[in-house]
Amino acid sequence: MGVLILFLTIVLLPIFFREFRSSARLIVAYWFVIALHFGVAFADTLLFMHPAGETDSRFFHRDTVSLGQSGNFLFFTNEKLYQSVLGVLYWIFEPSLLLGSQLSILMFAISCVILIKILGLLELSRYKVSVILAFGALPSMVFFSSVTLRESYQVLFFMLATYFGLRMLIERNIRVWGIFMVVPALIMGMFHNGLMVFAVYLIALFMGWNIYSTSGWLVLRREYLLRVFVVLTLILSTIFLTKSQYAELGILSSIVNIDILEQMVVFQSRNSATVTRATYDTFLDSSSPFRIVYTSFVLYLNGLFAPFPWQVENVRDVVGSLEGILRMVLIGFSLKHLCRAHGVQFRLLLLMLILFFSMSFMWAMGTTNYGTAMRHNLVSWWILAITGTPLLMERLSRIGLEAALRRCMHFLRQAKKIY
């Protein structure tokens, strides 16, 4: 019963939103990417375990089954929150790997709706079909957001926080949209410790950003200061009262004694304890300022674009390498799009790209292999799909038109010679 309810909800979701009802092509594009996700979920459940389901996916499902049967839900941060959400679903209906996968697909489906709404805010709605295909049909998006993993949840709440933040800036209404921005940002942060730190950064960035030309880009008006203080207090309280990473220290001494670079090095060392073929050759080196900058830059390149063509050894590497090339292309078109924009749209696009580069940099500093990087890059992929796809499609359409015109001229010249 639960599988059928989620299936119908996902399939019929577009008819409840005006942006989809006004475009038959958009609904078809939505159903296409959803069909890809359903195909992976059914294959993973009934036929074979694909690479995305080999480790974490089965781990989450196995532990959540026992949690759902016991009913002892613990809504803490990180994987415990995800397992509790999934456990509630298993408790209401029955434990099922397909049911858990469909919940992830539902999160992805809602993300598609938010994606289209963000395009409307950025005045890019004419590209909504190509953007939703670029967002939803990316191979790693199809595989990783169709199984019992946290990525689709992280993407959704990141998009929600950004959507409400954009509405706050455009409508200049911090009292309403500011609150709506903070809530999903906090929920996003509760799925991962690193995302909680990013949530603080995201809220502060939106609170200080200005999209109108009456003053500078970064503005902290007096009426914002109290709200910023309250928001940051709430976030820090959530971090240190729900789950402190430094249990052997008191909360205040933990804040004082945290060395971010040292913790990043420790985190990477712990994650790289098992060296695999996909493990990077470079790790963060905090021995000197130059080494910090150099190793951070190399890690960032690896996080965004690895595996490189010379590292390809199997089909999964081919997919990862092609996605890295696509990210490189879309980053180029995104920057070109930014240069072509002006006024309010320029400042909104600049804000979007700052969010992308910040998010991808944060993940890169804590990632030790390109297999994990493929999953982490999904969280910010939708930003590139929005900012880079429009100009890419324009270029492709021009190339196609020019090629068609050349073929027509060649045909006319040949016909003239015959006659």
pLDDT tens-digit profile of 269-292?
555 555 556 677 777 777 778 888
Q: What CA–CA distance (Å, rounded) separates 330 from 352?
A: 14
Give per-residue pLDDT as tens, 102-145: 989 999 999 999 999 999 999 999 999 999 999 999 999 999 99
Q: What's the pLDDT band for 388 if we cut at 50, 70, 90?
A: very high
DSSP state of 205: H
Q: What's the pLDDT band for 2 if we cut at 50, 70, 90?
A: confident
Q: Indicate if the pLDDT at residue 239 is higher than 70.
A: no
pTM of the model: 0.85
Residue 281 buriedness (CB in 10 A; 0-12 / 13-18 / 19+): exposed
Q: What CA–CA distance (Å, rounded) separates 376 from 254?
A: 27
Mean pLDDT of 16-23: 89
Count CB neighbours of 264 within 10 A.
Answer: 20
Q: Name the residue ranges covered by the structural domains of the chain.
A: 1-149, 259-419
